[in-house]
Amino acid sequence: MAGQKDRARERAGIKSQLYESILSLVLAVSCYLVCFGIMSAQEESLARSSTLYAAVVGHRMYNENRAAIPTHKSIYLDQILYSPSVMFLRDEDGRALSTEETWSAGVVTAPAPNRGAATKHYKEPELSEKVRAALTTRARLSLSAFAAHGHNIIILGKWGTGVFKCQEEEVAEVFNSLLREEFKGVFEHVVYAVMGNAEKPGKFERCIETS
């Protein structure tokens, strides 16, 4: 019980730092082909709560990926977008924040490969090789952007494991490998914002905890 209370206090402290500091960075996921959609995925939630949409709409990345469909299929291109000082205007419940409550953060938009759609174009083991390579390259680009812009607190999540059907264990392994090796000691706090039951962790959470 004491351990749970300590972890809760630590999470509360980290959240306080995030809300008070612009040196926080959020990893956003988007479809490479359109600038966010109408679903209730994490990227749409971030876009509705902030100025992120205005920061990325019309970026050439989306046109470039539409043009690359014949050659890259559903794996897409290794590109990311960094948006500095994105203002967050609503809380997690959609409530509009007062002027004093609003906060800003740098945001990296890093689309994951669409593993589900890629099954139509690739067979194993090529499919898994391409997905793993794309996840690793884009995660590395994202972490490099975090570091280059001086962010010491970053928020990650179950990147690409929803509609895109990337495997939770694999995404967790990619983050763990990079953070424990190439980016070891670079960030003060790494927060995994994952919804669920803390008493019944999913595959992603178990992999993060044990690796």
Average confidence score pLDDT of the chain: 79
Q: Which residue has the higher pLDDT, 208 or 186?
A: 186
Other Cβ atoms within 10 Å of 206 Cβ, number: 13
The span from the CA of 56 to the CA of 118, in Å, is: 25
Residue 117: per-residue pLDDT: 92
Q: Are 182 and 135 in contact (CB under 8 A)?
A: no
User: pLDDT band at residue 195, thresholds of 50, 70 and 90?
Assistant: confident
- Which pLDDT tens digit goes with each residue over 18-70? 433 333 456 655 454 444 443 445 666 777 888 988 888 878 887 887 788 88
pLDDT mean over 8-17: 47
**Which token pair is 195?**
């919804």
Expressed in percent and rounded to 5, the helix, strand and coil fractions of the chain are: 45, 15, 40
Question: Which CATH code is given to the segment(s) 2-210?
Answer: 3.40.220.10
131: Cβ contacts below 8 Å, ≥ 6 apart: 75, 113, 115, 118, 166, 170
Sequence ranges of the domains in the chain? 2-210
- Beta strands at 81-88 and 189-192: parallel, antiparallel or unpaired: unpaired
The span from the CA of 165 to the CA of 152, in Å, is: 30
- Which pLDDT tens digit goes with each residue over 163-188? 889 999 999 999 999 999 999 999 99
In this predicted structure, the answer to whether residue 125 has a pLDDT above a threshold of 50 is yes
Least confident of 15-19, 69-73, 84-88: 15-19
In this predicted structure, the answer to whether residue 122 has a pLDDT above a threshold of 70 is yes
Counts of helices then strands in the chain (DSSP H, E): 9, 5
In this predicted structure, the answer to whether residue 75 has a pLDDT above a threshold of 60 is yes
Residue 63: per-residue pLDDT: 80
The span from the CA of 146 to the CA of 164, in Å, is: 24
Q: Which residue has the higher pLDDT, 198 or 133?
A: 133
**92 phi and psi, to 5 degrees?**
-65, -15
Residue 20: per-residue pLDDT: 37
pLDDT mean over 188-195: 84
User: pLDDT band at residue 17, thresholds of 50, 70 and 90?
Assistant: very low
User: pLDDT band at residue 134, thresholds of 50, 70 and 90?
Assistant: very high
- Beta strands at 24-28 and 103-109: parallel, antiparallel or unpaired: parallel
pLDDT mean over 157-168: 89
CA-based nearest residue to 186, from 135, 133, 145, 158:
145
